[in-house]
Each structure stands twice: as C-alpha cells, then as structure tokens.
Structure 1
C-alpha cells in the first residue's frame, strides 16, 4: 500500500491496525510532547527528549517507531544499534539542529581547544559525534556542572538554552552558539502581556528555549516534562504555558480539569506535525522509514549520549 491508501482509512481502522501491527512486530511507539494529540494517544510512551531517550535505552522491543523529529530517531538508533528504528516521515527535521554542523563545531573548537563541547540533544548525529557530552533542556544545568568550574564550555546549538544554563550555573566561561528554535524564539513580551491580560490569575511557565527577556519575566522556567509535572502537582493553579501547543493538548488530555493556556496559538512546530496516524501505520506495515546512522559516527555519538544518561 502507498501513503494515499493509508490516508483514506478512517481513524478507527488506523488505530486498530496500528495496535495489531505493534503487537505483531513487537514494536514500541514513542511520541514527543509536541506530536499531534491523536498520535500521542496511540503511543506506548510520551514525553520530552530526555524521558524518551531513557525509555529507548531500556526497551526490549524489536522495533522502535519514533514519533518526533529526525534527531530524536537518530538518538534512539545510536543507543539501540541492533534494533530497527523507524520514523514515520523522513522529512521531519529540526531547523534548530541545522544551525550546527560537525565541521563548523570542530573549526570553532580550534579557537578554544581547552573548552568542552556540550551539545543540546536537538542536533545531528554528526555533531553529537564531535561533542564531549549531550544535554537536554531538562538537564543542561546538571550536565554543565559535571565539569569543573574553571573548565570552559562551548554550548551548541541553542543560544537561549545556553543563556538559561549560563545564568543558572553562574558560569561566565560558557560560549553560546548562535542557534534557536523558531517556535520558541518567536515568543515575545507582547505575547506575555496579552496572555497575562487574558489570564491574570495564571502563573507563567516558559521553556528555556524562549528569548532571555521572556525568561526574565517568567514565574517558572522548565522543560516540557517539568511543565507537565508542575501542572500535575498543582492542578488547581491556572498556568500560561510558553512552549509548543502539543504539550498543552497532552496536559488537557491526561490531567482532567487542568487550567492551562498557550501563550500563543501560533506556537506550532510544523515539523513535529508531519507525523500522522496514516504515516505511523504505514511505518509499521511497510517498514518505513528506517533510520540509519553510520557506525563510526554512532560509536562516537553514543559515548556523548551515554555520558549524559549516566549523570541524569
């Protein structure tokens, strides 16, 4: 069957066949918090990059279907070289990851040969392979503090997460790469002003990928897993959530009665939304699209990823 055939199937049949194929192939479906809600609902696990990386490192499934963007599927493959890893849409890339290449990082490193390279998980396998350690938005502070205070850091590729990490650790010897997530970097103080006018009783929780001026006026700064936990632990506290709208959909789906509001209805990652139920079913039934990472790159990247997992 081709994609067009799957697109014409009703949702009930899609879900039924996904469940059948998952069982038949001993597959696990992982979905990031920014996925469409119908995709999140058929997943075995949903979470942020760190949570899903940990799950991928421990799974005994023969097949991993990663509903996310390419760097996430690559990470799953790197830590599971013997397993089949599928991504339902091969075009689901991450513009943030494209800000850095291995060649550019190595060239920059020549100017700071004694600095360690700390790379955000939102990066290519090639960039991870030339890094000392990987981090996520949930553990960037802990990862940087893994190094002695006098050790210089090159933080790749998100400048806003770097700003947050630099401020939280109090370290001035961190050099920030000039990259950003277009979804978070477009969140402005005007968005904050409007959201607080609409919901004056709500706390403002922002992702550390938002610009510094937005971080400065937030009540809390947290990764998507941290945002989720806050709402779950404070179900009666209204919250404005400054991240991609998929997380708000997950919260409303799982935490009944939660009062959460997106800082902007336009905070949508079009790359994440490329994954759909028809594509998930096609991935399972047609074995597409298999993620391949060259052994030499995977081996080096695995070291950086496992170093992160060992301290998280």
Structure 2
C-alpha cells in the first residue's frame, strides 16, 4: 500500500466541477490496504456497502454488494454506526433518508449520476403544474429533492407493477429515464403516461446495432438487457422477429440478472449494462461465459470510488452526506409507498 497521491478537493453531488473529476489515486489494493480498510471499519463500527457497478477490488472488500435500494435497506437495518456507501451520490442520499440516525459517508462526493442529474426538483414541480392531478412515479435513481416531489418511487424490477397500481383514469408522470419509461408503457399499454426525456449516459450508449451484431456472432447466447439501455427495444425486436429465440431475451434489473444467471441453462450470456456487473455475474455462475455487449460501458462516476478514496473515507470520515430532514421525510414516504405496493425485487 502506497501513500495517497495529490488528493483533489471534494464537492457535493451535482455541485462537482465537471472538469475536475480526477479520481483519488496512489493506493494499491494489496493485502496491507485490505487489512487497514477492515481495521478502520471495525474501529468505527462502519459497514461498507458497494454497488454492483463498482470496481472489482471495492466489491471484494465490501461487507455487502448489491443494487442501491437493497443496500439502502441494509443501511437502515444493520447495527453499524457509520455507513460507507461505495456508489454514486444519490445512492448515499437514499441510504441517509432511510437511516437518518446514522452517519453516511461516500468515499468521493463528486461521484454523481447523469440519470439523476437529468431532472431537478424545480423541473419536476413545473411538469406537475402542467398536469394537475397526475401521479408522479420516479425511478429510485433520482436525488432526494426529486423523491420529495414524487408520489411513488419505483425500481426497474417493479416499475410495471407500480404503474399498474395507479387508477387507469389518472395521468402518470414517469421520470427520469426515458428507456425504462418506454419499457413500462409498452408493458402496461398505458396511453395517459408521460415520460421525461432523461437517460443514463452509459446505458444509452449501448445501442441496438451492436447488440444485433453481438447476437449474430453468438447465436447460442442468452441476452440479459437492462431496461435503461438504449438497445432494450432492439432486443425485443430481435425476439419478435425470431432472430433470437424469445426465451433467450431477458429485460432485467441488476438483481434480476443475478437470479437469471443462477437459473439459466445457457453456456454464454451477452450482458447489456454497466460492465461492473460482470464481476458479480461471474461469481454467481462461474461456469457461464458472460460477455459485455459494449465493453466501453463503464461509468466514470462509479469508478471514482477507488481504493484510495475508500481508505480516505475511513481515515478522515469524508465525505459525509446530509439530507434536509423535511426533504428526507417526504422522500421516505415515496419509497414506502413503493414498498407497500409490492416488495421490490432486484432493485435498479
């Protein structure tokens, strides 16, 4: 383990400087690093949570790995005093909302999210004013302020169920992901559903032509496609045209991908989501050849949680996440309504 090199000043969430996102570096994830991280976690009664898209070395040292909502539940239910959330900023906010009495830190608060940033609370309020009486359904991949303006949150695994729970005569405002919204509209057939034009820049970049090319080159492979992906419609087209057998095409959340990996009889699987997911899939089913549809689909913000950043967080208690209590209370209600409709499965 080497000393941390030239740390850059941290900012919070969407206030980060887009031209100054150099990750914390200078630390090797060796045995000495692992021992020190675990020692500090025990010293501070801290639990380390890592999202499925994190670097493999971060996933391997975490006490729990999963999707953001599942990890936030662990944060709320565990006995730790401090939650170290290795993910992007909105995820740490959600953990703080569900566990307001605990200290929540993110190893680098500059780790934002293009999808969460694609709608603000002010924009949502303006949209609601244009559609009085509409029910707002927001993906959990949103800021605390947006959740506070939301009627019901959803995950990618239960978004259809959430929208189906709303009376048919009520308009629905779905935000912020346009691809997940299109998937829900297609599945429900709901015509009075308005969809915000937001996207995850990584998932949007996984396109239909490259999925079709990969499927043609790997005719026996299953397709695991995240509904945030720009290629989700193309995957369903391939199935509908018989180019790929329908049973081989699966539109799945990250948790759903892990369940499917353990159940599939396929020898190879093409995966359309952020490439960090491959680490957990290969651990879940090592006998299967998992390949990324787009090997460049790496989120720069997720990868800002480096070994150096995690060590810094535990040594310095940085960066602590705060959510206004009133905002947190209102946002918590939108999450609780989602859970009341039906326990969300694999999360986002």
Query: TM-score, normalised on structure 1?
Result: 0.95
Check if 1:63 corresponds to 2:82. yes
SS in 1 for 2:58: helix
Check if 1:243 corresponds to 2:278. no
Which of residues 234, 254, 258 in structure 2 aligns to 1:214?
Answer: 234
Asked whether the 8 Å contact 1:208–1:215 carries over to 2, the reply is: no
Displacement of 1:253 in angstroms is: 3.2
Q: How does 1:84-163 map to 2 (within 5 A)?
A: 84-163=103-182
Q: Which range moved further: 235-244 or 285-294?
A: 235-244
Asked whether the 8 Å contact 2:270–2:290 carries over to 1, the reply is: yes
- What residue in structure 2 maps to residue 32 of structure 1? 51
Which of residues 186, 195, 199 in structure 2 aligns to 1:180?
Answer: 199
Q: Which range moved further: 184-193 or 174-183?
A: 184-193
Asked whether the 8 Å contact 1:240–1:261 carries over to 2, the reply is: yes
Check if 1:282 corresponds to 2:282. no
Structure 2 unaligned regions, length at least 5:
7-24, 240-248, 344-348
**CA deviations over 1:23-60 (Å, ceiling 9, x no partner):** 11111111111001110011111111232232223222
**CA deviations over 1:226-275 (Å, ceiling 9, x no partner):** 11111111254421110010111221234322221110101111110100
CA distance in 1, matches of 2:112, 2:152: 22
Asked whether the 8 Å contact 1:129–1:297 carries over to 2, the reply is: yes
CA distance in 2, matches of 1:66, 1:220: 29
Asked whether the 8 Å contact 1:30–1:65 carries over to 2, the reply is: yes
The number of residue pairs the alignment matches comes to 312
Displacement of 1:215 in angstroms is: 4.1
Which of residues 176, 201, 212 in structure 2 aligns to 1:193?
Answer: 212
CA distance in 2, matches of 1:46, 1:157: 25
CA distance in 1, matches of 2:143, 2:335: 12
- What residue in structure 1 maps to residue 189 of structure 2? 170
Q: 1:301 to 1:38 in 2, by over 3 A?
A: same
CA distance in 1, matches of 2:113, 2:253: 17
Q: 1:128 to 1:17 in 2, by over 3 A?
A: same
Check if 1:76 corresponds to 2:95. yes
Q: Which range moved further: 251-260 or 185-194?
A: 251-260
Q: 1:298 to 1:170 in 2, by over 3 A?
A: same
CA distance in 1, matches of 2:147, 2:3: 34
Displacement of 1:9 in angstroms is: 5.2
- What residue in structure 2 maps to residue 295 of structure 1? 325
SS in 2 for 1:107: helix
Displacement of 1:155 in angstroms is: 0.4
Q: Which range moved further: 231-240 or 94-103?
A: 231-240
Structure 1 unaligned regions, length at least 5:
none
Q: Which range moved further: 54-63 or 169-178?
A: 54-63
- What residue in structure 2 maps to residue 258 of structure 1? 288
Q: 1:235 to 1:43 in 2, by over 3 A?
A: farther
Displacement of 1:10 in angstroms is: 5.4
- What residue in structure 2 maps to residue 4 of structure 1? 5
CA distance in 1, matches of 2:283, 2:82: 27
Asked whether the 8 Å contact 1:121–1:136 carries over to 2, the reply is: yes
Displacement of 1:148 in angstroms is: 1.8
SS in 2 for 1:150: coil
Displacement of 1:7 in angstroms is: 2.5
